[in-house]
Amino acid sequence: MKVLFFLAPVAAFGVSLIGQESARYAGPIIDMHQHAEWEMWSSTRLCFPAPCTPAPTKAQSLAELKPRTLRAMEENNIVMAVVSAPPRYVLPWTQGEGSRWLTGIQLNNPADVPIDELRQLFASGRAQVMGELAFQYEGIPIDDPSVDPILALAESLDVPVHVHVLGLGGEPAFPIELGNPTRVATVMRRHPNLRIYLENAAWPFLEEVTSLMYQYPGVYADISTIAHLFPRDVFHAYLQGLVRNGLGKRLMFGSDQMLWPEVIGEVVDAINSAEFLSLEQKADIFYNNAARFLRLDPAQIERHHEG
C-alpha cells in the first residue's frame, strides 16, 4: 500500500527532466550511511586497485567535520541521514538536530556491548538504528553466536540493523570470506523479522547477495563506499548487475562519509551518472527505497519533497 504512495511524489517534485534515461535526479535524498567519529578511520582515503592515488583531503578535526558534512548535505539535497558512531560520539552529534539525522549505534566488538544499556538507548528514543555493526574488522562474522544477543535485541525492538559485509578490507584480521553475505542467511533463519540492510551491497559477492535478497525480501542494501573506492566503471558494473537481477527496489543511497564530506557529492554523482538507470530507478535508490525501509510517514515524505 505504501509503495504506491512513495512513487507518486517522484513524478511530481524535484526531478530534473532533461532527456530520458540519462536524466539526473535532483529530488530529496536519504543517506543511509554516515559516520560521526574521528579516531577509527585512517587519515588517507583508500583506493583500489593498486597502483592508484588516493584523494588527499580530509577534515582536520571532529569540530570541522560536522559543519562540512552539513554543507555537503545541503549542496546535494540530503534531507535525512543515518549517522553512526559509538554513543559518546554520535549522541552529541545528533542531539537537538530534529529528524535530520537518525542515530546509529556503531558496535565494533560484541564482547564490549552492554545489552541493557543498548536496550535503554533504543527504548528511550535516543537511537534509531542498530549499526553499523563492524565486527568484521575484528575477525568476527555476523553469524557468530556472540553477535546473536544484539540481533535478537534489534528484532525484538523492531529497529533497522546496518551490517558491514564487504569482501574487501585488511587481511588477516578482516578476511575476505567474512564479508560473504550468505552468512546473513544464517542470521535471517534465526531472526526472520530482522529489518537488515547490507553495507556496500556486499561487494563483490553479486551472486550471493542476489541469492540472499531473493530468499529474504526484507533484506535491503546500501550503495556506499564502493561508489568512490574504485574506478567508476567497476562500480557501475556491479550496480548494473544488482539492478539487472531485479534488486532495484531494495538498493539505497549511502555515502559512508567518514572523514571526507566530499564523498557525499561523489557518490551522488556516481549513481546519477549511471546511464543504464532510468530516472525512476534513480529516485528509488536516492529516496523511495529508504523511505519504505525506514517506514517514514506520508507527512514526512511530503515535507522532504517540498524543500
> What does the binding site for Zn ion look like in residue numbers (CB under 5 A)?
132, 256
Residue 199 Cβ vs Zn ion, minimum distance, rounded to whole Å: 6
Nearer to Zn ion by C-beta: 143 or 256?
256
Nearer to Zn ion by C-beta: 132 or 262?
132
Tell me the torsion sign for CA atoms 9, 13, 16, 20.
positive
| Residue 299 buriedness (CB in 10 A; 0-12 / 13-18 / 19+) | exposed
Return phi, psi of residue 251, to 5°: -100, 140
Q: Which three cell numbers stand for residue 98?
A: 530534529
Residue 77 Cβ vs Zn ion, minimum distance, rounded to whole Å: 21
Nearer to Zn ion by C-beta: 162 or 292?
162
Residue 165 Cβ vs Zn ion, minimum distance, rounded to whole Å: 11
Q: How far is CA 210 from CA 30, 42, 180, 214, in A?
A: 23, 31, 12, 6
Residue 25 Cβ vs Zn ion, minimum distance, rounded to whole Å: 23
- Which residue number places its CB atom closest to Zn ion? 256
State the pairing for strand pair 29-35/78-85.
Answer: parallel
Closest CA to 197 of 211, 177, 217: 217
Is residue 175 classed as helix, strand or coil in its secondary structure?
Answer: coil
Return phi, psi of residue 40, to 5°: -75, -25
Tell me the torsion sign for CA atoms 65, 252, 298, 91.
negative
Closest CA to 47 of 232, 282, 251: 232
Q: Give the C-alpha separation, 7 to 305, whole Å.
A: 12
Residue 132 Cβ vs Zn ion, minimum distance, rounded to whole Å: 5
> What residues contact residue 214 under an 8 Å CB cut-off, 6+ apart?
none
Residue 234 Cβ vs Zn ion, minimum distance, rounded to whole Å: 19
Q: How many CB atoms lie within 10 A of CB 252?
A: 29
Nearer to Zn ion by C-beta: 226 or 283?
226
Residue 83 Cβ vs Zn ion, minimum distance, rounded to whole Å: 10
Nearer to Zn ion by C-beta: 169 or 241?
169
Residue 34 Cβ vs Zn ion, minimum distance, rounded to whole Å: 8
